[in-house]
Structure 1
């Protein structure tokens, strides 16, 4: 997919050079969607907006930090740095990462609003151009749905922009989370009906919209405040099953789990929605920020370390699981000195903060000889492994007898036997499958939501208290996570939005 990435470089350069501070952004030009070529360029601009620093690196930093599973050495290699004391200990305050993520996602939403307003689609498209315009419109609806789903899960009630601002419409009051969910469902359904694959490889297909719908219905099944009055919890689980089954069998697991997090196996059979990263086009700093310190020759910060007890639970549940080596890093050679560096569990003493937790390895540059602080590794947003876990969870709630089959399909790849909880009651299975998300997908962007999706009590008992009360907890190297419902369940709307939006106080 490097050809696709090269196109992004050209498109980004065109978009950047075609507007200045005295002009409206180029995506506001309605004629941009008059021809297939310019409309395709605008579509690439929308997806490039998802790969910039604010909507990629800052978003991952915020959602992983707010999951209760990580600590960080950003802004200080100690347990009391401002990120650990704020976001990572589930005591969110106003912070620049959340604010810039907010701005980045709303910027992409503005681009999709322009596309939705401007592009012309026809019923029953048949010509190549008609199919392409339909597909591009489908992408605009999909990205808008995904962006709002990302925001509402973190912030709750938020402004719902479905049009472009103008001189008469500069501010927007908050819509309720329920209203936002209704709009996301509408957009995702529209996307599923319009997407047809005409844009080619490297772009998500309609099945990504089906997977998004399944996620929406799963969330609504366990949150009565989001549900429509005529529908029951089981109705939502059934709707989630229907959407997930539209995706089932359309993709396949790759044989080697670790290969998912390299730049040599991009857009694989497992990938459903993948961001195309180019260090030149997107200026991606993933390889600098999330590669362990001194793992490679170039600058690296290692901003994500997984709580030691999270690692311990994975290792004790599935001894020898190949996913462990693909996910965590605890021992490596210093690229500059040749010394062997160890953190937990390779260094089992946990004597100081520096060595008390393993690094998250998924986003790391995999070449220790790399002298570039940036990297080209794509970032997978949705993949088939997650869909199998979703189907297992949904099937357990429906008690349709299929739940263990999807788990076996997933675990057969790594050659491990399903944990004991899968053979117990419905509740035991539920607890096991919620942990399977963590073992399979930690750090990939869904932890904060999955940990909260079943409500405060479930989050408290299965993440917060499990961490705070684990036998190996050491207050000098382990974060104490907040147990206050008012703190841990959502982020504050950024001050910049409050100070500039007259309809929000």
Structure 2
């Protein structure tokens, strides 16, 4: 990003052209670091382009990285275009809304409940740009009303990608029984977003959020990076944490109504609301960008709040094969060989 900024400063293009490009770069850096810290924990925070400075940086505390993420997003919001229609009517580049969507999530992860609610609400007020897609079957189309930021997938018969994340091939893994059992009766998402394959009499459910495959290349689908449904559930959680139970419940019910489910009522405790949000996010965002995994790691356990919700669930599934240190990936040995100042995550020997 500093290299880009330096190049643009010598450009003859007007500031109205340069500033949004720098904003896009800051957004991309923020998004990359968000996934890095949630996957690996502490990571080097690279803010320079000089390899003499950056080649052997130690890992920065996650809190420091989050502060930089927040700074990048706030600065991006100030200069990015508000309207995706300035990009030819497609939501495939960063806008103010995209940066706000990530920022709302960052505030939530940082337990800044008030700003999480405020930022999500700012997006949800932009109904002329984004709103819930009434039909779940249309959520993942390129022209979805719900998309805030989308990626155009690669599509080539010579390239394999898992269509749970990129709509270019049939999904190669089965949804577990716990997920399929978690769908309530009549939930339209079960019919719109999953498909059952019959293999010699055995039924195997797969993700079908994206239906474009090698044999069906005509579907115009873009990968949904940020969408409106998440903002409702971010706001619901932020409101629940601030004891605003009625409005939190209403945010959850907006998602449930779209799925043809009855409203939830009498959610009069924070614990009941968080449990309802966990259920709704599990169904709404399965096979999307690691939502559930990141949520389970940051939520305290229901039975034992001294451990994470991930510990509670995975220890039940995996027994002694699960260790709390498994919540982070190992630092790749190739990276540690290149940079001797990179320590390894606990639980890994190399």
Q: TM-score, normalised by structure 2?
A: 0.82
Output the CA distance in 2 between the equivalents of 1:362 and 1:181: 31
Does 2:283 align with 1:439?
yes
Output the CA distance in 2 between the equivalents of 1:155 and 1:388: 28
Query: Which of the residues 97, 100, 104 maps onto 1:214?
Result: 104
- Alignment partner, residue 330 of structure 1: 196
Q: CA deviation at 1:481?
A: 8.2
Q: CA deviation at 1:414?
A: 2.1
CA RMSD of superposed structures (Å): 3.0
Q: CA deviation at 1:397?
A: 1.1
1:358 is paired with a residue of what secondary structure?
Answer: strand
- Alignment partner, residue 274 of structure 1: 150
Matches for 1:329-348 after TM superposition, within 5 Å: 329-331=195-197, 341-342=198-199, 347=202
Q: CA deviation at 1:300?
A: 5.5
Q: CA deviation at 1:248?
A: 1.2
Does 2:143 align with 1:305?
no
Output the CA distance in 1 between the equivalents of 2:73 and 2:258: 31
Report the CA distance shift for 1:215/1:121 in structure 2 as closer, same or farther (over 3 A): farther
1:173 is paired with a residue of what secondary structure?
Answer: coil
1:382 is paired with a residue of what secondary structure?
Answer: strand
Q: CA deviation at 1:268?
A: 2.4
Q: CA deviation at 1:156?
A: 0.6
Matches for 1:7-156 after TM superposition, within 5 Å: 112-120=1-9, 129-156=14-41
- Alignment partner, residue 118 of structure 2: 242
Does 2:295 align with 1:450?
yes
Query: Which of the residues 76, 80, 94 maps onto 1:195?
Result: 80
Is residue 277–residue 284 contact of structure 1 (8 Å, CA) maintained in 2? no
Query: Which of the residues 180, 187, 194 maps onto 1:321?
Result: 187
Deviations 1:261-301 (A, max 9, x none): 3xxx3142211111122426x97633xx338xxxxxxx966
Q: CA deviation at 1:192?
A: 0.8
Output the CA distance in 1 between the equivalents of 2:160 and 2:333: 26
Is residue 277–residue 376 contact of structure 1 (8 Å, CA) maintained in 2? no
Task: Identify unmatched segments of 5+ residues in structure 2.
Answer: 301-306, 344-350
Report the CA distance shift for 1:117/1:148 in structure 2 as closer, same or farther (over 3 A): farther
Output the CA distance in 1 between the equivalents of 2:87 and 2:138: 26
Is residue 132–residue 145 contact of structure 2 (8 Å, CA) maintained in 1? yes
Q: CA deviation at 1:305?
A: 1.8
Report the CA distance shift for 1:117/1:490 in structure 2 as closer, same or farther (over 3 A): farther
Q: CA deviation at 1:165?
A: 3.7
Output the CA distance in 2 between the equivalents of 1:135 and 1:283: 35
Output the CA distance in 2 between the equivalents of 1:325 and 1:141: 39
Output the CA distance in 1 between the equivalents of 2:227 and 2:73: 17
Q: CA deviation at 1:443?
A: 0.8
Is residue 257–residue 323 contact of structure 1 (8 Å, CA) maintained in 2? yes
1:464 is paired with a residue of what secondary structure?
Answer: helix
Is residue 138–residue 194 contact of structure 1 (8 Å, CA) maintained in 2? yes
Report the CA distance shift for 1:502/1:407 in structure 2 as closer, same or farther (over 3 A): same
2:342 is paired with a residue of what secondary structure?
Answer: coil
Output the CA distance in 1 between the equivalents of 2:158 and 2:80: 29
Does 2:48 align with 1:163?
yes
Report the CA distance shift for 1:454/1:113 in structure 2 as closer, same or farther (over 3 A): farther
Output the CA distance in 2 between the equivalents of 1:253 and 1:191: 25
- Alignment partner, residue 255 of structure 2: 410
Q: TM-score, normalised by structure 1?
A: 0.58
Larger Rg: 1
Output the CA distance in 1 between the equivalents of 2:38 and 2:256: 29
- Alignment partner, residue 495 of structure 1: 333
Q: Which structure ranks higher in relative contact order (CA pairs < 8 Å, sequence separation ≥ 6)?
A: 1
